[in-house]
Amino acid sequence: MKVFISITEDLKKIYYEGKIVGWNYKRGMTKEDKEQIEKTLKKFQKGENELYDLSPTSGFSVNLIHIINLRKLDLPYSVTKLIKISDSEPLSENRTRAGGWAYIDTKKSKI
């Protein structure tokens, strides 16, 4: 599944594209799963040595999304070019905080 990513400092634009190849619910991971993920992080993401925010009550960062082929775009573009599957409307530029997601119709989107 393709992923379109904005940055916290500019939620109105898409800065990165990549491909989602997996997902984990951090709070449900086994010790072995966690150890394997941390081994992979140490190998491929220097500076990221462990999973964080695994507290069962914290409410933050509970999903671990596996992405490959992530690339920074030379020219970021407006999120309004992405058309949602749910209502065939463009994404809104009025986001005020990071997080969240929407399924995008890549055939109708203007990318």
Is residue 54 a part of any domain in this protein? yes
Contacts made by residues 52-57, CB under 8 angstroms, sequence distance 24+: 53/26, 54/26, 54/27, 54/29, 56/27
pLDDT digits (tens, 9 = 90+) for 14-37: 999 999 999 988 888 888 988 898
- At 58 the pLDDT is 59
Q: What is the pTM of this model?
A: 0.81
Is residue 111 a part of any domain in this protein? no
Q: Which residues contact 61 (CB under 8 A, 6 or more apart)?
A: 26, 52, 53
CA dihedral defined by 97, 21, 14, 75, rounded to 10 degrees?
150
- At 69 the pLDDT is 96
- At 28 the pLDDT is 85
pLDDT digits (tens, 9 = 90+) for 87-107: 999 999 998 888 888 999 999
Is residue 37 a part of any domain in this protein? yes
Is residue 65 a part of any domain in this protein? yes
pLDDT digits (tens, 9 = 90+) for 51-82: 776 566 655 678 889 999 999 999 999 999 99
Domain containing 37: what range? 2-81
